[in-house]
Amino acid sequence: MLTDKLRFLWGFVRHPREVGSITPSSRFLARAVTSHVPSGARAVAELGPGTGPITRVLLERLEPAATVLALEIDAGFCADLRRLLPDARLKVLEAPAQRLPQLASEAGFPTGLDAVVSGLPFANFPPPLRREIVQAAYDALKPGGVFAGYGYAPFALPPLLRSVFGSCRLGYEWRNVPPAFVISARKPASAPGPG
């Protein structure tokens, strides 16, 4: 939608490093990222939803009993998401991704999330912040839970996922501007859960 693109572009003009792209993810990329989320997942977090292209596809994929916690630091994007995606399963939290474990627990998921989906521009972040966010996602997941995100280059997120999760998988989606790597990892089933 043109208005989504303009709102996103305005977000980029205000906070270029945090928004990290001039256009929202395509529906193809959103499908590729969310395909890693089990359709029966009940507790899912999305980090950096922006104008919501991945959020929309995620909500289409999930069942009525699911909850999506969307953590976004831009107040304008949060207000727009609440207005434009009035879905009872979606809880938009104006908060940084680093706070995910605490927020997931407070939202009623102390034993962990089934999946964490990321729209964050990891390559733009300093390495300590990248690690902090990946560790927060890992800590918030249940054993066996899934992390999925994307990036325009394979140097920022994959090495960190290998270090924190033990391994990661890479795919590629051409039908996006620019084309993007689709990056996913699974928390080992033998790992301890949150808390």
Binding site for ligand SAM (CB under 6 A): 11, 18-21, 24-25, 47-50, 53-54, 71-74, 77, 96-97, 119-121
* CA distance between the termini of the chain: 41
Locate 74 and state its tokens: 């831009």
Tokens 């859960």: give the residue: 193
* Alpha helices, DSSP H, located in 107-167: 127-140, 157-165
- Residue closer to ligand SAM, measured from CB, 47 or 161: 47
Smallest gap from Cβ 11 to ligand SAM, in A, equals: 6
The candidate with the shortest Cα–Cα distance to 157, out of 186, 125, 188, is 125
CB nearer ligand SAM, residue 49 or residue 158: 49
49/112 with CB nearer ligand SAM: 49
Place of tokens 């994929």: 61
| C-alpha pair distances (Å), 121 with each of 61, 149, 188 | 23, 10, 25
Q: With respect to ligand SAM, which residue has the nearer C-beta, 67 or 118? A: 118
Minimum CB separation from ligand SAM for residue 7, in Å? 10
Q: In the bound complex, what is the minimum distance in angstroms from residue 37's beta carbon to ligand SAM? A: 14
The answer to whether residues 58 and 90 touch, using CB atoms and an 8 Å cutoff, is no
CB of 8 to ligand SAM, least distance (A): 7
The SS3 assignment for 192 reads coil
46 or 114: CB nearest ligand SAM: 46
CA distance 74 to 12: 11
**Rounded-to-integer distance, Cα 39 and Cα 58, Å:** 9
Smallest distance from the beta carbon of 153 to ligand SAM, in angstroms? 14
Shortest reach from residue 29's CB to ligand SAM, in Å: 7
Quick one: 43 or 73, whose CB is closer to ligand SAM?
73
